[in-house]
């Protein structure tokens, strides 16, 4: 399998991971976070942020699959994923704009697991796009 096909297959996997992460956020919003009273500090962050994550994840999945040959697309989506990871970690270790998670729920664990896997895959995809392909010398080729 040539490098271009591997890179495309990896971008499809990244797209599926992004969709999974967005689906997790949308499910968490539908099942829990949209019902949190507005008096809870920082609730606006998760009530709007989880829906925004789902929408951006969908757009990022399409962009990675359709435009992923451009390194800047992969880098932008990697930034999005690293930001999502940071938000989860900060909200569990302290507060993020007033919002604080007190326990690691299964949803938070699923979310950060998918986001970390996506970030790792994005780094590999960036390497495939940015590092020039090395061509092996053919057997029997004359050496200079």
| Structural domain contains residue 144 | no
Domain of 48 in residue numbering reads as 3-130
pLDDT at residue 143, as a whole number: 52
Task: Compute the chain's Rg from CA coordinates.
Answer: 19
| Structural domain contains residue 135 | no
| Structural domain contains residue 141 | no
| Structural domain contains residue 137 | no
Domain total for the chain? 1
| Structural domain contains residue 139 | no
User: For 3-23, what is each residue's pLDDT tens digit?
Assistant: 889 999 999 999 999 999 999
- Partner residues linked to 99 by β-bridges: 96
Residues in contact with 74: Cβ distance below 8 Å, sequence separation at least 6, in sequence order? 64, 68, 122, 125, 126, 129
User: For 37-93, what is each residue's pLDDT tens digit?
Assistant: 787 777 787 888 889 999 999 999 999 999 978 999 999 999 999 999 998 898 888
| Structural domain contains residue 136 | no
| Structural domain contains residue 116 | yes
| Structural domain contains residue 36 | yes
Q: Look at residues 110, 126, 140 and name the one whose alpha carbon lies nearest to residue 27.
A: 110
pLDDT at residue 116, as a whole number: 97
Q: Which two tokens mark 4?
A: 């271009």
One-character DSSP codes across 67-136:
HTTSHHHHHHHHHHHHHHHHHHHHHHHS-BTTB---S--HHHHHHHHHHHHHHHHHHHHHHHHHSPPPPP
Whole-prediction pTM value? 0.86
pLDDT over 90 percentage in the chain: 53
Whole-number average pLDDT of the chain: 87
Q: Which residue has the higher pLDDT, 93 or 121?
A: 121
Residue 27 has pLDDT above 80, yes or no: yes
């Amino acid at each position: 399998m040539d490098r271009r096909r591997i890179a495309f297959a990896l971008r499809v996997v990244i797209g599926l991971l992004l969709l999974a992460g967005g689906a997790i956020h949308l499910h968490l919003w539908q099942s829990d976070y949209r019902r949190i009273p507005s008096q809870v500090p920082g609730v606006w962050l998760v009530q709007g942020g989880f829906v925004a994550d789902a929408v951006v994840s969908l757009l990022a999945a399409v962009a990675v699959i359709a435009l992923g040959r451009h390194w800047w697309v992969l880098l932008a989506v990697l930034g999005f994923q690293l930001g999502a990871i940071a938000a989860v970690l900060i909200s569990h270790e302290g507060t993020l704009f007033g919002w604080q998670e007190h326990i690691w729920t299964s949803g938070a664990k699923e979310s950060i697991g998918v986001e970390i896997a996506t970030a790792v895959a994005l780094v590999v995809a960036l390497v495939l796009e940015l590092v020039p392909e090395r061509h092996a010398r053919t057997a029997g080729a004359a050496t200079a």
